[in-house]
Amino acid sequence: MFHSFKITNTLILLNLIAYIATALFSANLAEMDSRVLVAFGALYGPLIFVYDEWWRLLTAMFLHGGMTHLMMNMFSLYIVGRPAEIYFEKRAYLALYFFSGLIGAAASLAMHPQSVGIGASGAIFGLFGALAGFFLVHRERIGAQSRAFMKNFGVIIALNVLLGLSIPSIDMSAHIGGLAAGAIGGMMVSYRPRWLRFYSVAMAVILLSALFYLQGSNASVL
């Protein structure tokens, strides 16, 4: 059956549009000016905690620091987004993607409150986690396929951990936060699709609680 992968393609297109816009203002196609990224909505603690610019947790998901960063993330999104769009219905896909990205951004903000944070990796790792959850729930029904995915999943995670440890600019906290949020959601929705609403409410409560805590703990030191 033909599948057009509209959600995945749209997300990739939005990331590309955002990159072109920041490249124009940076006057550089390969590397983005950090000041431009902040102006376009990157994570930046002083603006978030002092001026309540919490919307940056969402906008930062569509920004990338350079061509390599963009291509790596968009290739990963292309690879993981297509099966996620097949196995999860639209609302579940979007909830898993954006809640993973937001939780990942909150984790990044907690670990690096005064750094500029960008990238879709938290949301993308959330989709990896969601697929892992799906295959774990259905491992008996689709045993061979499940084992193959989990093997590939383990390799991808190991490579990203090694890459994160070797390149200081890669924020592993966003990856871990997104992966955890996605895995939890993937298992819940795969086990009972109607639990999507409960997952969404739970993630919203966790996110708001984390942001309330971060606001209080960082406002006095920035």
Q: What are the catalytic residues?
A: 121, 175
Kindly report the backbone phi and psi dihedral angles of residue 54, in degrees, each rounded to the nearest multiple of 5, phi listed first: -70, -20
- Output the six-digit token pair for 9: 């393609």
> Residue 150 is encoded by which pair of tokens?
């989990």
DSSP character at residue 30: S
Measured CA distances, 192 to 85, 186, 187, 197 (Å): 17, 10, 8, 11
Question: Which one-letter amino acid corresponds to residue 113?
Answer: P
Q: What is the DSSP string of 8-26?
A: HHHHHHHHHHHHHHHHHHH
Is the backbone of residue 170 left (phi > 0), alpha (psi -120 to 50) or beta?
A: beta
**Number of helical (H) and strand (E) elements in the chain, helices listed first:** 10, 2
DSSP assigned state of 169:
T
Torsion angle in degrees (nearest 10) through CA of 218, 122, 18, 52: -20
